[in-house]
Amino acid sequence: MKKIDIQVGRKKFSLETIRYAAYAVSGAAYVTLSSAKTSVKVSFLPKNGGKAADLKERFLRELEDEKFREGLFDRNKDLRFWMIKRAINHVPEQINRAEDVGLTPEQEKELEQLIAQVESEIKKEDPRGITKTWEQKYGKKTGK
């Protein structure tokens, strides 16, 4: 197995960006990071006979992608903060109770008439009192 070493400058890429990019290719190779003041040495050792030539290209592509993600993450910091703050301090809209006053007196009277009509029809349908409960038919329970 061939070991691949790549030097990455810390001025262009942050240590976190280098670490995330190395993690992205760690499925295909064992990765070792060695940090110095101005650069980071990234060493790859392919797993299970993987192709060493593809690792360098994949890593460099992931490095650029991670740099883009890091910049995007930094630029959206205020938006994320606002969204989280809004979610935590969510106040639902207040329903205007003045508009929802319920039924008018005419509607209440009509509803009571309908209920009385339905109750009288139920009594006509059950002349023997089959649907009545024991308490309705014989009175309350005796206290034994």
Q: What is the pTM of this model?
A: 0.54
Asked if 31 and 43 touch (Cβ cutoff 8 Å), the reply is yes
Q: Hey, which residues does 35 pair with through a beta bridge? A: 40
pLDDT in tens, 85-96: 888 887 776 655
Domains of the chain, start order: 4-87 (3.30.70)
In tens, the pLDDT along 1-58 reads 688 889 999 899 999 999 999 999 888 889 999 988 899 999 998 888 667 778 888 9
What residues contact 37, with CB distance under 8 A and at least 6 apart?
10
Q: For the residues of 1-50, what is the DSSP string, one character each?
A: ---EEEEEETTTS-HHHHHHHHHHTTTTEEEEEEE-SSEEEEEEEESTT-
